Amino acid sequence: MRSAITQLLHKNSRLNHRQFAVLIDPDEVDIPALEKLVSIAKDGGVDYFFVGGSLVIGNFLDTTIKYLKQHTSIPVIIFPGSIQQVNPHADALLFLSLISGRNPELLIGNHVLAAPYVKKSGIEAISTGYILIDGGAPTTVSYISNTTPIPHDKNEIAVCTAMAGELLGMQTIYMDAGSGAKRFISAEMIAAVKKNIALPLIVGGGIKTPEAAYELSNAGADVIVVGNAIEKDTALIKEISFAIHSVSV
């Protein structure tokens, strides 16, 4: 099983090199939009493309992944909302277990169904403890997953959940307020989680400005994920990337 991206995440986390992932929802792009994204992302020093979503309706996922692979050397990582989003052309796949929830299908059920396809495809699977945090309003992911996010101010629940993920052998933790969240995860919660685990920490949901990206990177997020805000304004890529990469710890 390949492990290049997992190793890269761990190395950058050890070295305190903050990283930036642009999340692409395949339902929201076409070829001209991808062309523009790729050209700005190359200039802007984007570290990863995440591709996927809780609900992907169209059939542009495969084209999106292939386009990104053909036109950039930026690693493409699938952030799957369902088994249907497993695709062998990406560099890696976040093999997510929704550990903040108590829905057995998203803790282990879907994984059993996906495992043979993932193994057969040879894609790098990054075991990821996925933790949903309340972002001020129900999001697609909280509705679709049928789980209750951890309350915004309950840092200790987030810390214990992340520690459990680490003890279970997961390779990274992804704390998410959900796409389009009204408020992003607090810097205090991120700092508390970071202090208690030695895994790369991915953070996303509702991050719309370079200031927010800086604050959360500075608090300990190894990878900042931005989707919605960039869909609305691609030019934000450069400013957010600059903010994240200017954090020195």
Residues that bind ligand 1GP (CB under 6 A): 23, 176, 178-181, 204-207, 225-229
Rg of the chain taking only CA atoms, in angstroms? 16
CB of 212 to ligand 1GP, least distance (A): 10
CB of 178 to ligand 1GP, least distance (A): 6
CB of 154 to ligand 1GP, least distance (A): 19
- Decide whether 28 or 166 has the Cβ nearer to ligand 1GP: 28
- Could you tell me the two tokens for 148? 């209750």
CB of 80 to ligand 1GP, least distance (A): 11
CB of 6 to ligand 1GP, least distance (A): 19
Question: Residue 96 pairs with which residues in a beta bridge?
Answer: 128
| 5 phi/psi in degrees, rounded to 5 | -75, -40
Question: What are the angstrom distances between the C-alpha of 238 and each of 66, 185, 244?
Answer: 23, 22, 10
Total residue count of the chain as it appears in this document = 249
CB of 116 to ligand 1GP, least distance (A): 26
- Decide whether 149 or 206 has the Cβ nearer to ligand 1GP: 206
**Residue 28 host element (H or E):** none
- Decide whether 165 or 227 has the Cβ nearer to ligand 1GP: 227
Residue nearest to ligand 1GP (CB): 204
For 25-40, letters b (16+ CB in 10 Å) and e give bbebbeeeebeebbeb
**Residue 203 host element (H or E):** strand 201-204
- Could you tell me the two tokens for 147? 């789980």
- Decide whether 26 or 120 has the Cβ nearer to ligand 1GP: 26
- Could you tell me the two tokens for 206? 């509702």
- Decide whether 169 or 204 has the Cβ nearer to ligand 1GP: 204
Question: What are the angstrom distances between the C-alpha of 237 and each of 99, 132, 137?
Answer: 30, 24, 25
- Could you tell me the two tokens for 107? 């803790």
- Decide whether 98 or 197 has the Cβ nearer to ligand 1GP: 98
